[in-house]
Amino acid sequence: MRWKWHVAALLAVCGSPPLQAAVVNPSFETGTFAGWAVIGDTTVVSSLGTAAPTHGTKMAYLHTIGGLDGFAVPQPFLEAFLGLAPGTADAAFGADVVEGSIISQTIVNAGAWLLSFDWKFLTDESPGGVPFNDRGFFALVDPFGALAAFATIDTLIPANFTAGTGGWLHQTAFKPAGSFLLDKTGSYTFYVGVLDIDDSAFDSALLIDNFVLSPVPPPPPVVAEPASLSLLGVGVGTLWLGRRRRRKAA
């Protein structure tokens, strides 16, 4: 998938989120979207039915309905927010994007870091249904405007779902979305959102929490292979026996 991202255009459209060397408000514990750019219907909650934050006491809640702090917005507004050229969201997502809600943040990167977070997808669509494959998505855009990582959580696999909560018919587990590499120097922008696909008759939602930037772990230390260890053991044993013999002979 090749997306044409225009981060500069994005910043012009939705205002410039502050640049920072870490994720600001990474677990939504302020109870707000401080540090984030948002579009659509987004809010911060302490719980949703039986669903609880995976870190702290707050989490982000995005959905494709209207009525909380705003309304899910149609495709042209999503494209502007994402820095996509008008009319290109369908090609970018490989589906008929109808409406949605997205949050975003920009990080100034130096060195090599892994970005991770948790998400839970909830839907009134029937899991396994095609079309109407609503989805949550994550997109990471590197300092050169290229798509560096992309992940989705969607309705395609019924086995991923249990009975829903918080007024939703179906839900996935609240699980890690993955670890995404930032290894170029400069500004990365990442987006997490939920999209209504094909129509707006049945809605979907996304719970998001616990953004963490971790240093890329160093390569594991080189350990001697078992064969080498046994050879070393033989050598030490021989040496010890040799000394013993010499001492006895003396």
Binding footprint of Ca ion on the chain (CB under 5 A): 27-28, 53, 55-56, 58, 134, 196, 202, 209
Chain mean position to CA 193: 10
CB 131 within 8 A of CB 17: no
CB 243 within 8 A of CB 249: no
Residue 205 Cβ vs Ca ion, minimum distance, rounded to whole Å: 11
Q: Which of 99, 181, 175 is nearest to 140 (CA)?
A: 181
Q: Which of 132, 117, 20 is nearest to 60 (CA)?
A: 117
Residue closer to Ca ion, measured from CB, 47 or 187: 47
Residue closer to Ca ion, measured from CB, 41 or 134: 134
Residue 193 Cβ vs Ca ion, minimum distance, rounded to whole Å: 14
Residue 231 Cβ vs Ca ion, minimum distance, rounded to whole Å: 52
Sign of CA dihedral 18, 19, 24, 26: positive
Residue 196 Cβ vs Ca ion, minimum distance, rounded to whole Å: 4
Give alpha helix (H) positions in the chain: 7-14, 75-82, 89-93, 226-249
Residue closer to Ca ion, measured from CB, 113 or 211: 211
Residue closer to Ca ion, measured from CB, 6 or 55: 55
CB 199 within 8 A of CB 56: no
Q: Which of 151, 195, 147, 176 is nearest to 54 (CA)?
A: 176
CB 48 within 8 A of CB 121: no
Residue 156 Cβ vs Ca ion, minimum distance, rounded to whole Å: 13
Residue closer to Ca ion, measured from CB, 116 or 187: 116
Residue closer to Ca ion, measured from CB, 79 or 196: 196
Amino acid at 29: E
Decide: residue 106, CB within 10 A, 0-12 exposed, 13-18 middle, 19+ buried. buried
State which residue has the least CB distance to Ca ion.
27
Q: How many residues does the chain have?
A: 250
Residue closer to Ca ion, measured from CB, 41 or 209: 209
Residue 210 Cβ vs Ca ion, minimum distance, rounded to whole Å: 6
Residue 82 Cβ vs Ca ion, minimum distance, rounded to whole Å: 19
